[in-house]
Amino acid sequence: MSKQQSVLFLMSDTGGGHRAAAEAIRAAMEDLYPLRYRYQLVDVFKDYTPFPFNQMPDFYPVWVNNSKLSWHLGYQMSNTRNRSKLILDSFQLSWRRGFVRLFEENQTDIVISVHPLFNRPAVKILNDIQQSRPPFMTVVTDLVSTHAFWYESRADVCLVPTFHAYERGLKYGMPAKKMKITGLPIHPAFVNGLVEKQIARQELGWDRNKLTVMMVSGGQGIGPVYETARAINAKNLNVHLVVVTGSNTALKQQLDAQSWNQTTTIYPFRTDMARLMAAADILVTKAGPASICEACVAGLPMIISDYIPGQEDGNVRHIVENHAGIYAPSPERVADALEEWVNEPSSVRNTYAKAAAALGRPEAAWTIGTEIHNLLNASSRPVGKVTESTLFHYSSY
């Protein structure tokens, strides 16, 4: 057996999507190429940046949950080609020592970044400290309204989830020949875990015949989940309401303490979202990319209840314009929309469900894993800087 090659993922737990994407790609590669590679997932903010950046995994949910306006302003002001470069270059000055240590401690054959803030600093520092650096790939984990931070033209490959993300890459100076549309990576366990609805309900102990509405709000339970659940409760609908609170223990305790007018199940963080989505009929969710892409793969119609301004603006349009769901931007409007769907013929929901399924890209993680494998084996050259002649003979947009 040939020597194992190493794959290094740069991520951070600022929101659940970055780690989830890295883990999905790793699982797909383990499926495709068993024992061929070894994998390192590094939380760059937490382990390799100085204060206050190393607090970002804890600070991020507080910021986006309690000060959306300031988050949105910061997102918009930084979202130009020149400003994004200036900001990241200034960050790179204070991150440099940590990034040098990062690459010394994590020797690798390829670097995969699934976080927008690490691309430009990492490539710059790698170019400075290694005469022949490993190939560098960006996997964009925002869906539609992607930030300029994602697109570092010195990266060797940039994989994007949608055509909109591809177009934005062109706008921000990413060469077309370096981009490919692959979809957003969904964990193979989710894809393989989708079973027939009645089987999933039986396994979960849910009523097999009652219309089931599931509410999620990301792994950290961000947004007005409590208020939305109570607004639905006030409608006295004949449904089974399922609420997944993620890691937000305070939210779960708050919901557990309430009385409910319909069958209601409150779950903490779950690792079997495929089974839950397979068992549900309608999903109420914020517009997080992972949640809505999983819902599409599961063929679940969506009521979008909330979004993080900036990176999730386009996700709402993506779902609404493709008729995979509707946008109801307040707890009361969610409850009203749900009441309409409950009272309408099931054929209406089924139309949305089919449109959602049409958007699904269940193969994305395997596609990305194949791209990584092909990049590493594109030629017999030693690991180092990638040239256009050796890179893109195997993949094109």
The CATH number for 134's domain is: 3.40.50.2000
CA distance 200 to 206: 9
Asked if the structure places residue 310 within a domain, the reply is yes
Domain residue limits at 280? 188-359
Strand partners, 6: 38
My answer on whether 55 and 181 are in the same domain is yes
Asked if the structure places residue 396 within a domain, the reply is no
Asked if residues 127 and 108 have their Cβ atoms less than 8 Å apart, the reply is no
My answer on whether 278 and 299 are in the same domain is yes
Asked if the structure places residue 240 within a domain, the reply is yes
My answer on whether 66 and 14 are in the same domain is yes
Asked if the structure places residue 213 within a domain, the reply is yes
My answer on whether 268 and 178 are in the same domain is no
Asked if the structure places residue 397 within a domain, the reply is no
My answer on whether 239 and 302 are in the same domain is yes
Strand partners, 112: 9, 137
Q: Where are the alpha helices (DSSP H) in the chain?
A: 17-32, 44-48, 56-66, 68-78, 81-105, 119-129, 163-171, 188-193, 197-204, 225-233, 249-256, 273-279, 289-298, 313-321, 331-343, 346-359, 364-376, 388-391
CA distance 282 to 228: 15
Tokens representing 82? 């020149």
Asked if the structure places residue 263 within a domain, the reply is yes
Tokens representing 73? 């302003």
My answer on whether 52 and 178 are in the same domain is yes
The count of structural domains within the chain is 2
Asked if the structure places residue 105 within a domain, the reply is yes
What does each of the 397 residues of the chain score in pLDDT, given as a tens digit?
568 999 999 999 987 689 999 999 999 999 999 999 999 999 999 999 999 999 999 888 888 878 888 999 999 999 999 999 999 999 999 999 999 999 999 999 999 999 999 999 999 999 999 888 999 999 999 999 999 999 999 999 999 999 999 999 999 999 999 999 999 999 999 999 999 999 999 999 999 999 999 999 776 667 789 999 999 999 999 999 999 998 889 999 999 999 999 999 999 999 999 999 999 999 999 999 999 999 999 999 999 999 989 999 999 999 999 999 999 999 999 999 999 999 999 999 999 999 999 999 999 999 999 999 999 998 434 433 333 333 333 332 2
Asked if the structure places residue 334 within a domain, the reply is yes
My answer on whether 122 and 249 are in the same domain is no
My answer on whether 68 and 89 are in the same domain is yes
My answer on whether 181 and 227 are in the same domain is no
My answer on whether 51 and 195 are in the same domain is no
My answer on whether 132 and 267 are in the same domain is no
My answer on whether 276 and 384 are in the same domain is no
